[in-house]
Chains A and B, each alone.
Chain A
Amino acid sequence: MRGRTARYRSKLRIIADILTVINEEGGAAGPTRILYGANLSHERMMRYLAEMEEKGLVRRVEVGNRTLYEITDRGRKLLREVRKMEEFLRAFGLGI
């Protein structure tokens, strides 16, 4: 049961980390920046980005010959919710 919990936690945390990196870069970031910022392997990052794109959290845009990932309104909303959730847990002294 704890294993399942841990999987969910890390997934949400990783998604939040990716969104944070993109947000801090002004709303759009390239794969290399995301890879370092979220501390992920290339393969794992691409898998997450594909899933996030499918869920409408980020969108892929081509600028010249560069690929960037933009945070969407839905992504920003999720990021705000995650921050609220973390603040709620921090207030109570609970952690997931």
Chain B
Amino acid sequence: MMIGWFIMLSSTLEVVEGLVAMLTCYLALRFYSLARERLFLALFTSFLILGLGLLIHGLAAGVVLLMAPRLRPSTFVLTLRSLALTLSICEAFAYGLLAYSYTRYGAPRHGGQTGQGVLPSLMLMPALAASPTNSMGQEVVVGLVRFHPLLEGLILAILAYLAFKTISNFLSEKDVNPFLVSFSFLFLAAARVCFVLAFSLTILYITAHVLQLLAFLSLLIVLLRVVRA
């Protein structure tokens, strides 16, 4: 019951966030076709990967949840863990590329980890009953939708850097759009802190998602203001 609610909430919000990321990606592509600047290509790639990651994870996790009664517990867990790994890699790469755009120094890297977090989940499998959604405790749930605290920590470090850069920009510009962008990255970083802590305190997972949604809504307002400018 709990896991179903968690995954459905996570999926719905990720789809909304993914759509905002895709809108940003479209705008960056439009500007790239105008200016032929590599910066816009980097922004396009970054938000495309982020958007795809969020949409794929959101939609696929929703489908897996709907099919849960017909899935074996091991298949259920492995599918969700694979999706969580995909999302984490997409986020790390996308935010890394964005950070690279700010520094224009060095190559973007993503912190993929191969299977480190899968093992603990597999060890839990014998305890799972026939219907996977009814048998898991809250503490296991976050591990299904988020891959590993270390990978989340890496993304947090990148987001903290982006928040620092955008807040610095706001302090020099003192305008609405820079404020909204800095607010967005600050909330993304705060959400990531909650995602990391949610591995031990599940309730923070909801807080994290609310913060992340606020961050993307803030970004959406910026996009609408830019388009209407």
> CB of B39 within 8 A of chain A?
yes
Contacting residues of chain A (70-87) with chain B, CB-CB under 8 angstroms: 78, 81-85, 87
Interface pair B168/A88, CB less than 8 Å apart: no
Task: Write out the residue numbers on chain A whose beta carbons fall within 8 Å of the beta carbon of B38.
Answer: 1, 5
Q: B177 touching A94 by the CB < 8 A rule? A: no
Q: Give which listed residue, A8, A78, A82, A84, contacts B36 with CB less than 8 A.
A: A8
Task: Assess the A81–B34 pair: CB atoms within 8 A.
Answer: yes
Give A85 to B29 CA distance when docked, in angstroms: 11
Q: From residue 162 to 189 of chain B, which have CB atoms closer than 8 A to chain A?
A: 165-166, 168-170, 172-173, 175, 177-178, 180-181
Let me know if B102 is at the binding interface, CB within 8 A: yes
Q: Give the size category of A's interface with B.
A: 20 to 34
The stretch of B190-198, B201-209, B221-229 in contact with A is: B221-229
Indicate if B6 sits at the interface (CB-CB under 8 A): no
B37 touches A82 (CB 8 A): no
Q: Mark A1-25, 1 if CB is under 8 A from B, else 0.
A: 1000100110010000000000000
Which secondary structure dominates chain B's binding surface? helix
Complex contacts, B165 vs chain A, CB 8 Å:
93
Chain A nearest Cβ from B161, distance in angstroms:
13
Given contacts A83-B229, A84-B227, A84-B229, contact A91 B34 (CB under 8 A): no
Please give, as numbers and ranges, the residues of chain B lying within 8 Å of A94 by CB-CB distance: 39, 43, 101-102
Within 8 A of B (CB), among A47-95: 78, 81-85, 87-94
Question: Among A1, A82, A89, A93, which residue has the most Cβ atoms of chain B within 10 A?
Answer: A93
Q: What is the total number of residues of chain B having a CB less than 8 Å from a CB of chain A?
A: 29
When chains A and B are docked, how far (Å) is the Cα of A93 from the Cα of B164? 11
Chain B residues, Cβ within 8 Å of A9: 35, 37
Q: Which of B37, B102, B172 contacts A8 (CB 8 A)?
A: B37
CA distance A71 to B177 in the complex (A): 29
Which B residues are CB-close (under 8 A) to A91? 177-178, 180-181, 222, 226
CB-CB under 8 A from A88, the residues of chain B are 27, 31, 226
**Complex partner residue of A93 from B35, B181, B227, CB under 8 angstroms:** B181
In the bound complex, do residue B37 and residue A90 qualify as a contact, i.e. CB atoms below 8 Å apart? no
B34–A85 CB distance below 8 A: yes
A90, B175: Cβ atoms closer than 8 Å: yes
Besides A88-B226, A92-B43, 20 more A-B contacts (Cβ < 8 Å) are A8-B36, A12-B34, A84-B227, A85-B31, A85-B35, A87-B177, A87-B225, A90-B173, A90-B175, A91-B177, A91-B222, A92-B169, A92-B181, A93-B102, A93-B168, A93-B169, A93-B170, A93-B173, A93-B181, A94-B39
Which residues of A come within 8 Å of B, CB atoms?
Answer: 1, 5, 8-9, 12, 78, 81-85, 87-94, 96
22 A–B contacts, CB within 8 A, in A order = A1-B38, A12-B34, A12-B35, A78-B34, A81-B31, A81-B34, A83-B229, A84-B31, A84-B226, A84-B229, A87-B177, A88-B226, A89-B39, A91-B177, A91-B181, A91-B222, A91-B226, A92-B178, A93-B166, A93-B168, A93-B170, A94-B43
